[in-house]
């Protein structure tokens, strides 16, 4: 499965935070909701942070995330487009310039869940 069938994106705008711009939820195949995604404005533009929980040591661990760059980029694009529609603000300039999203290795801890990424993912 190389693509993700996102049938709905819900955006809840956040005001007054330094970097957090919105919370988002996606619905997959009109049947499964993944919430607590975050639209963040970083130094290099907007990006989507995956749902996470705080560990006992204070660090954060993603609890849901794409297993490859193709799906991550598609998910980020859908969420940022929904953010643009909901707010009227431009969030996709970084992607439109042809820069591809790269998965940070520290965020892609699939081995911790017992998954083994496919070669080339």
CATH code of residue 48: 3.30.1120.40
Residue 1 lies in a domain: no
Whole-angstrom distance, CA of residue 46 vs CA of residue 74? 14
Give the residue from 38, 27, 51, 45 showing the smallest Cα distance to 89: 45
- Is residue 121 predicted with pLDDT exceeding 90? no
Whole-angstrom distance, CA of residue 83 vs CA of residue 52? 20
Q: Which domain holds residue 28?
A: 6-113
pLDDT at residue 2, as a whole number: 58
Q: Which residues pair with 8 in a beta bridge?
A: 27
- Per-residue pLDDT reduced to its tens digit, 8-31: 999 999 999 999 999 999 999 999
Residue 121 lies in a domain: no
Whole-angstrom distance, CA of residue 51 vs CA of residue 40? 12
Whole-angstrom distance, CA of residue 48 vs CA of residue 100? 13
The secondary structure of residue 106, as a DSSP letter, is G
Percent of the chain with pLDDT over 90: 64
Percent of the chain with pLDDT over 70: 74
Residue 120 lies in a domain: no
- How many domains does one find in the chain? 1
Mean pLDDT of the chain: 82
């Amino acid at each position: 499965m190389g693509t993700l069938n996102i049938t709905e994106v819900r955006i809840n705008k956040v005001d007054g935070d330094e970097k957090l711009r919105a919370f988002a939820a996606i619905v997959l195949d009109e049947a499964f909701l993944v919430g607590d995604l975050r639209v963040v404005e970083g130094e290099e533009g907007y990006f989507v942070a995956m749902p996470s929980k705080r560990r006992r040591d204070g660090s954060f661990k993603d609890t849901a995330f794409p297993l490859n760059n193709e799906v991550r980029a598609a998910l980020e694009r859908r969420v940022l487009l929904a953010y643009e529609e909901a707010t009227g603000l431009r969030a996709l300039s970084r992607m439109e310039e042809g820069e591809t999203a790269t998965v940070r290795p520290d965020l892609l801890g699939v081995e911790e869940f017992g998954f083994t990424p496919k070669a080339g993912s």
